[in-house]
Amino acid sequence: MSAILWAWAIPTAKAAIIADGHGLRATVYNGGVSTTKACGTVIYHQLALNVPLDTLFTYAHPHRLPEGTRVAVPFRGKTVAALVWAADVAAEIDSAKIRPIAQVFDHEPPLDADWRALLQFAARYYHYPLGQAVFAALPQGLREARPVAPPPVAQSFVLSATGLAQAAPKAHHRKQLALWQALQQGALSLSAAKALHTQAPSLFKQWQEQGWLNAIASPAHGAVPPSPHVLNEEQQAASQAVQAACGGFAPFLLHGITGSGKTEVYFDIMAKVLAAGQRVLFLLPEINLTPQLLARVQQRFPHTRTAVLHSQAAAGARTQDYLRAQSGQAALVVGTRLAVFTPLRQLGLVVVDEEHDSSFKQDSDLRYQARDLAVWRAQQAACPIVLGSATPSLESWHKARHGDYRLLSLSQRAHHAAALPQIVLADVRRQKLDNGFSAQALALLQQNHAQGGMSMVYLNRRGFAPALFCGDCGHTFGCPHCSAKMVLHQQARQLRCHHCDFRQPIPRICPDCGNQDLTAVGHGTQRVEETLRQALPGAAVVRVDRDSTARKQDWAQLYERIDAGAVDVLVGTQMLAKGHDFARLNLVLVLNADGSLYSADFRAPERLFAELMQVAGRAGRADAPGRVLVQTQLPDHAVFQALKAQDYPRFADAELAARQSLGLPPFAFVAAIRADAPSMSEAVAFLSLIIDEQANGFRLPETVSQFGPVPMLMARLAGRERAQVFLESTRRRDLHHGIGLWRQLLRHFETTHRTIRWSIDVDPTDI
């Protein structure tokens, strides 16, 4: 029971004195924020704060706040945002020291229990402070100690009873009539109306004044126009299998070769789930969130309100989209890894496209794997999840082979005219190469250009960075801050580190021997471009790299040029491999594919295979049959043999057998404990100290093995040196127990080792 004893209001603020079971309190409401002063009892709340500590913090408030409410509190002399994690708790510290919550953002809906459970899980699984995990999952606007305005409610218009009784506009007012007829069918958004008649806003205003039209909040989801394609048998079977599983947790791995129509399968299931009034979460790799894909979603779901969440979105827009998803105003959430944290009610389907892509792993702060969290969310929401890829991660393939995931296969290209590309291996072992090109490759490019085809020259980024070296003494230029070699950027006349972005002008003389004639080695995109211009005079050669596509509109412009047939040869790195659909492209040339096979990273063959299958998939997407030429010095290597046969299962099963014999993931669970310091010896000493400490009492579980400390492959980064210890176990529970022990010791020793920074990476993908 509560009673309002006194209330007062002016246009900008309201105040009330309220009496209830907790005593008397005075509350002032002002622009979406309420400030309350207790006059009687207080309720203690545990709050999550964005600080690197494992604890929650207790603050007081006169009445019980819903869990998940955003508030502002005083902390270390500042006012910071916090999230109510538990309400009505006992005071754990001296109650005199507990400070009051300064502001309650009670106009914002609280983050619900499912969302909080997801974050609780993520923080525990990745051994990361809960408060920091919570704030890492929120968009910028919600991390600040300020209220955010709710997103404007999009309006639609419906005919009132009076409106329905009116005679239709005269036939010669054609556009007006079209508008009227559309309204007879049901609610119409202003944008849909404007598409029919540019005068719609003023007409609607007039009709509203006449009482013919009512404004309502736009529905989150409207009719889905029929698909332009009839699904083929395999697509149909895949879609049906997932639909039949709706209503319960069911993980699927959709393995479909590139161009087999996976996206159409997702769309088909999405349409059904949305029509049932449920929400869909659609995750894509960083690089795939192209205007092309978004346009495809827009085209297929024009009346579905979609929130687009990715790291490049402007902070304000991201916050608004987040809130629209949370409030249920958006029915479809499309986004990159961070979108996995979007609060959604009535989640009915999760899709992870290109599930093998490395961008689903976050490599700093909360080091989460969005694909794994997506599976967790589907389980929580009791709904199906579809992980799709032409080259699934070996983790997912392993699960499908063992029946943990249901395997759905699309074995043919969907477009009837699109045959699989033909993959040819070019053995370049005893050949003299012209800036990386074999004579055969150049001849093919020339021939294709002469016949009006479009080609792509794909550079495997590993082992392909152009560098500067001294031909006399062999000096190479390493980054002074990292263990990386500096990359030569001819146009900018600079050497750049691609790991920490250190830059310096190209040196004129060798610092070791004084030689003034330094040589450029490697075939960076620029040198390849030069060679192509000479070999193909008259061809339009376009280089695609991070620099040339830095801005959002760069891709759009590139697509326009390609669509207009104004590009003959594309040159680029893995940015070109994924997701792009270029109808005229019919020849792909892969230079220097071998580099990553010499890598110490056990995932290098998996990545190379995926990359090359992807890039091969770019060729011959529509009517022109595609050809792929892969230059290699190792034509007999299993990766290239499987590639030539375009046989992912063959590759995956062989690779899994190798991993099993070596006890590598997915046959073991791994965590990396990392430390960095100004010098390697400090980093190593710190980790060794903890290993020594374990002898005094702490015991790792029997199944957990410990390796290291060792320097990381990229041992220096941004002026710091990095070492790591690996923990491995065949039992996940034991591994987590071991990580927990490590963490206690790290916490203990960090206080006396101020130069050290440490982190824990569970299921690491970098070594």
Site of interaction with Zn ion (CB under 5 A): 479, 481-482, 497, 499-500, 502
> Which of 732, 461, 754, 761 is closest to 612 using CA atoms?
461
| Cα(737)–Cα(286) distance, integer angstroms | 33
Chosen from ligand ADP, Zn ion, none, partner binding at 262 (C-beta under 5 to 8 Å by type): ligand ADP
Nearer to Zn ion, 241 or 479 (CB): 479
Judged by beta carbon, residue 622 or residue 745, the one nearer ligand ADP is 622
CB of 474 to ligand ADP, least distance (A): 46
Residue 250 interacting entry, from ligand ADP, Zn ion, none, C-beta within 5 to 8 Å by type: none
Shortest separation between residue 164's beta carbon and ligand ADP, angstroms: 40
Q: Which is nearer to Zn ion, 48 or 482 (CB)?
A: 482
Of the candidates 668, 683, 676, 685, which has an alpha carbon nearest to the alpha carbon of residue 738? 668
497 vs 577, beta carbon nearer Zn ion: 497
How far is residue 391's CA from residue 594's CA, in Å, rounded to a whole number? Answer: 19
d(CA 79, CA 399): 47
Kindly report the three-state secondary structure assignment for every residue of 255-318: EECCCCCHHHHHHHHHHHHHHCCCEEEEECCHHHCCHHHHHHHHHHCCCECEEEECCCCCHHHH
Q: CB under 8 Å to 515, separation ≥6 — which residues?
A: 470, 471, 472, 473, 509
Residue 435 Cβ vs ligand ADP, minimum distance, rounded to whole Å: 32
Q: Please, what is the minimum distance in Å from the beta carbon of residue 680 to Zn ion?
A: 15
- Cβ at position 232, least distance to ligand ADP in Å: 5
Question: Could you tell me the smallest distance in angstroms from the CB atom of residue 714 to Zn ion?
Answer: 9
SS3 170: coil
| Minimum distance of Zn ion from residue 478's CB (angstroms) | 9
CB of 287 to ligand ADP, least distance (A): 14
| Cα of 244 vs its chain's centroid, Å | 28
Per partner kind, with CB cut-offs from 5 to 8 A, the member of Zn ion, ligand ADP, none near residue 264 is: ligand ADP
DSSP 416: T
Q: Shortest CA distance to 746 belongs to which of 732, 729, 760?
A: 760
CA-CA distances (angstroms) from residue 736 to 177, 675, 706?
A: 67, 19, 13
- Residue closer to ligand ADP, measured from CB, 260 or 329: 260
Closest to 348 (Cα-Cα) out of 309, 310, 373, 385: 385
- 499/637 with CB nearer Zn ion: 499
**Cβ distance to Zn ion smaller for residue 536 or 723:** 723
Q: Which residues bind ligand ADP (CB under 6 A)?
A: 229-232, 235, 256, 258-264, 414-415
Give the single-character DSSP code of 624. S
Q: CB–CB of 305/332 below 8 Å?
A: yes
Q: At what angle do helices 525-535 and 439-450 cross, to 10 degrees?
A: 60
Nearer to ligand ADP, 268 or 728 (CB): 268
668 binds, among ligand ADP, Zn ion, none (CB under 5 to 8 A by kind): none
Q: How far is the CB of 676 from Zn ion (least distance, A)?
A: 14
Cβ-contact 615, 590 below 8 angstroms: yes
DSSP-based three-state secondary structure for 691: helix
Residue 356 or 485 having the CB closest to Zn ion: 485
479 binds, among ligand ADP, Zn ion, none (CB under 5 to 8 A by kind): Zn ion
Closest approach of ligand ADP to the CB of residue 584, in Å: 14
| Residue 497 binding: pick among Zn ion, ligand ADP, none (C-beta 5-8 Å cut-off by kind) | Zn ion
Binding partner selected for residue 260 from Zn ion, ligand ADP, none, CB under the kind-specific 5 to 8 Å limit: ligand ADP
Cβ atoms of 330 and 305 within 8 Å: the answer is yes
259 binds, among ligand ADP, Zn ion, none (CB under 5 to 8 A by kind): ligand ADP
Which residues make beta-bridge pairs with 78? Answer: 75
- The listed partner (ligand ADP, Zn ion, none) that binds 525, CB under 5 to 8 Å by sort, is none
Select the binding partner of residue 45 from ligand ADP, Zn ion, none (C-beta < 5 to 8 A, by kind): none
Token representation of residue 570: 């594309």
Query: Can you tell me the distance from the alpha carbon of 643 to that of 588, in angstroms, rounded to the nearest whole number?
Result: 14
Could you give the 3-state DSSP secondary structure of residue 751? Answer: coil
Q: Which is closer to ligand ADP, CB of 138 or CB of 454?
A: 454
Whole-number Å distance between alpha carbons of 27 and 18: 8
Taking the complex as a whole, how short is the minimal distance between the CB of residue 415 and ligand ADP, in angstroms?
Answer: 4
Q: Tell me, what DSSP letter sits at residue 98?
A: P
* Angle (CA) 435 439 440, round 5°: 125
Read out DSSP for 447-469?
A: HHHHTT-EEEEEE-STT---EEE
Encoding tokens for residue 302? 């024009």
Residue 229 binds which entry of Zn ion, ligand ADP, none, with Cβ cut-offs from 5 to 8 Å by kind? ligand ADP
Min dist. Cβ of residue 286 to ligand ADP (A):
17
In whole angstroms, the minimum distance from the beta carbon of 512 to Zn ion comes to 20
Nearer to ligand ADP, 111 or 238 (CB): 238
Shortest gap between Cβ of 150 and ligand ADP (angstroms)? 36
Q: Largest Cα–Cα distance of the chain, in whole Å?
A: 94
Cβ proximity of 281 and 340 under 8 Å: yes
- For 442, the token pair is 């150049």
Q: Which is nearer to ligand ADP, 284 or 528 (CB)?
A: 284
C-alpha distances (whole Å) from 418 to each of 422, 451, 619, 625, 745 are 12, 19, 10, 7, 58
- If the CB atoms of residues 322 and 582 are measured against ligand ADP, the closer one turns out to be 582
User: For residue 512, what are its two tokens?
Assistant: 């070791």
Nearest to 310 by CA among 331, 285, 335: 335
Nearer to ligand ADP, 396 or 596 (CB): 396
- Contacted entry of Zn ion, ligand ADP, none for residue 764, CB cut-off 5 to 8 Å set by kind: none
Judge if the upstream peptide bond of residue 666 is cis by omega within 30 degrees of 0. Answer: yes
Q: In 3D, which of 629, 632, 627 has the Cα closest to residue 593? A: 632
Partner interacting with residue 481 (select from ligand ADP, Zn ion, none; CB below 5-8 Å by kind): Zn ion
CB of 500 to Zn ion, least distance (A): 3
502 binds, among Zn ion, ligand ADP, none (CB under 5 to 8 A by kind): Zn ion
Phi, psi (degrees; rounded to nearest 5) at 443:
-65, -40
Q: Toward Zn ion, which CB reaches closer, 152 or 505? A: 505
Give the sign of the dihedral formed by CA 362, CA 51, CA 685, CA 680: positive
Q: Name the minimum Å distance from CB 229 to ligand ADP.
A: 4
